[in-house]
């Protein structure tokens, strides 16, 4: 009896996986897609690379389409990094901490926000067949000096934290974009 239940559960689980997997597709059922490097309208140099690579990683992980050169593609995915902002969140001032010099304001966190637009363009007639705008945000702590309640501007830390936030956001936002682009059809 237990062997029958085991075989039945394996069969049912494998069928459910196959049914869910076969439902994902690109708009129009196309299989070949080109992904040129995203455009970057933000003030953050090189940000387009994070988002292009994250989208490519999502597509490579999927087993129902082929990423090809533009001349062999049915569709071209066009991406644009519209905006990236790094905004301070929370501050400490001399009135709150007596060991700070006068007129000092230290940031506790930075919030990185992104806006990315994705379009799918059919190669044959250059018509956009799908588009959407995606947003994401991530908060990271500012560089710390002394105790956990004091921090300073450390250019190397700030640069690393900003790049880390962009890598994480690119993965999250492109995962969402890929899912919405392929599960709706």
Domain map (residue ranges) of the chain: 26-183
Backbone angles phi, psi at 19, to 5 degrees: -65, -45
pLDDT of residue 140: 87
List the one residue out of 171, 112, 174, 170 whose CA is nearest residue 140: 112
> In what helix (H) or strand (E) does residue 49 lie, and over which residues does it extend?
helix 47-61
List the one residue out of 33, 47, 113 whose CA is nearest residue 78: 33
Strand partners, 92: 106
List the one residue out of 142, 176, 174, 132 whose CA is nearest residue 47: 174
pLDDT of residue 8: 46
First-to-last alpha carbon distance for the chain, in angstroms, is 41
pLDDT of residue 4: 47
| CATH of span 26-183 | 3.30.160.150
Q: Strands 106-122, 75-92: parallel, antiparallel or unpaired by DSSP?
A: antiparallel
pLDDT digits (tens, 9 = 90+) for 89-140: 887 766 655 566 677 667 788 899 999 999 999 999 999 999 999 999 999 8
Which burial class, exposed, middle or buried, applies to 60 when counting CB atoms under 10 A from its CB (0-12, 13-18, 19+)? exposed
Backbone angles phi, psi at 21, to 5 degrees: -70, -35
pLDDT of residue 1: 59
Backbone angles phi, psi at 46, to 5 degrees: 85, 0
Q: What is the pLDDT along the chain (185 residues), one digit of tens a residue?
A: 555 444 545 554 554 444 444 567 888 888 999 999 999 999 999 999 999 999 999 999 988 889 999 999 999 999 999 999 988 888 776 665 556 667 766 778 889 999 999 999 999 999 999 999 999 999 988 876 655 555 555 666 778 888 999 999 999 999 999 999 998 65
pLDDT of residue 28: 82
| Separation between Cα atoms, residue 75 and residue 57, nearest integer Å | 17
Which burial class, exposed, middle or buried, applies to 47 when counting CB atoms under 10 A from its CB (0-12, 13-18, 19+)? buried
Q: SS3 of 96, please?
A: coil
pLDDT of residue 48: 97
Which burial class, exposed, middle or buried, applies to 161 when counting CB atoms under 10 A from its CB (0-12, 13-18, 19+)? buried
pLDDT of residue 21: 46
pLDDT of residue 145: 61
pLDDT of residue 154: 64
């Amino acid at each position: 009896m237990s062997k029958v239940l085991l075989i039945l559960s394996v069969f049912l689980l494998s069928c459910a996986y196959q049914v869910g997997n076969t439902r994902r597709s690109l708009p129009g059922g196309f299989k070949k897609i080109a992904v040129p490097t995203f455009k970057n309208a933000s003030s953050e140099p090189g940000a387009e690379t994070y988002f292009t690579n994250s989208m490519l990683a999502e597509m490579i992980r999927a087993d129902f389409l082929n990423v090809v050169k533009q001349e062999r593609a049915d569709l071209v995915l066009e991406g644009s990094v519209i905006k990236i902002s790094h905004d301070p969140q929370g501050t400490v001032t001399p009135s709150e901490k007596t060991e700070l010099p006068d007129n000092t304001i230290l940031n506790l966190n930075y919030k990185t926000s992104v806006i990315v637009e994705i379009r799918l363009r059919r190669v044959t007639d250059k018509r956009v067949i799908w588009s959407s705008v995606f947003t994401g945000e991530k908060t990271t702590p500012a560089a710390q000096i002394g105790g956990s309640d004091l921090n300073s501007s450390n250019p190397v830390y700030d640069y690393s934290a900003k790049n880390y936030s962009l890598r994480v956001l690119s993965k999250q936002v492109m995962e969402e974009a890929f899912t919405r682009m392929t599960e709706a059809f």
